[in-house]
Amino acid sequence: MTVSIHPKVMIGHVHLLVADLENMTRFYRDVIGFKIAEQHAQKVTFTADGRKPLLVLEQREGLILKPQRTTGLYHFAILLPERADLARALLHLAEQKTPMQGASDHGFSEALYLSDPEGNGIEIYADRPRSDWEGRVEQVGTTEALQVEDLLRAAEGNESWLGLPEQTIIGHIHLHVGNLKEADRFFVGQLGFKIEMSMADHALFIAAGGYHHHIGLNTWAGTERPPANSTGLYLYSLLFPDLAVLNQTVSRLQQLGIPVDTSALHPTIIDPTGSRIELRTM
């Protein structure tokens, strides 16, 4: 029997473990443009609209920086509501002299790539109209150089940067995995995401409800897991439309033999990289 996750499921927030909370807080507030929703000695929660959490940074004692060429986070992706917002973000990053790792046209989206001070990958992007790519992600998807001058024209006359717009969300998350078949079994066969695009035997792009991808999976960093006391991705959440759908999903996962931790505030499962997935309602 084919399993399908609810079509309205989306990524909620990302939780990173960090070595220097003060420096990382400054970066995500001043450079990326998040607003601080809650701030404690060891943890900061960021938002774009003042309410919905999008990013959590947590400092713990004894952490080491995540080694390169290990599984886990490749990048998390900040989805801006309009193309003009992406243009303003690019202008701001240039003014801040922020090092960039790339700028790409993916057919279904335009994207900027960079890293935070501890090496966590970040994508900032804007989607092209859904009618241009829905149902044709495999045909439309590409990676070409971003036409920067054309993008910047979208902000002409309104270049002021005021931080991330209130409608900003975490659009997707992209993971380095050790075994693509194992990841496919978990995310597609058990959770019920649909493959929207694949790249030979080394990458999959999967989604709910016809989006181009909510989760990217690749084997580009090899198979070794980082040490348990590494910085980097600790948890990310999936948002379900209501409690009934969430509970149905939890029950189905338990029937499949997937351990679900129901002792915390939100049910939590572990993905093939060892990261936690928190199941929440919207």
The domain limits of the chain are 12-281
- 73 forms beta bridges with 175
CATH number of 12-281: 3.10.180.10
- 35 forms beta bridges with 47
Tokens, residue 183:
């990841």
Whole-model pTM: value is 0.98
Q: Given pLDDT bands bounded at 50, 70 and 90, which one contains residue 1?
A: low
Sign of CA dihedral 277, 220, 106, 4: negative
Q: What is the rounded average pLDDT for all residues in the chain?
A: 97
Q: What is the pLDDT of residues 123-154, one digit of tens each?
A: 999 999 999 999 999 999 999 999 999 999 99
Q: Given pLDDT bands bounded at 50, 70 and 90, which one contains residue 60?
A: very high
DSSP 92: H
Contacts from 247-251 at CB under 8 Å and sequence distance 24+?
Answer: 249/5, 249/6, 249/279, 250/279
Q: What is the pLDDT of residues 80-106, one digit of tens each?
A: 999 999 999 999 999 999 999 999 999
Q: What is the pLDDT of residues 222-268, one digit of tens each?
A: 999 999 999 999 999 999 999 999 999 999 999 999 999 999 899 99
Q: What is the pLDDT of residues 8-42, one digit of tens each?
A: 999 999 999 999 999 999 999 999 999 999 999 99
Q: Given pLDDT bands bounded at 50, 70 and 90, which one contains residue 158?
A: confident
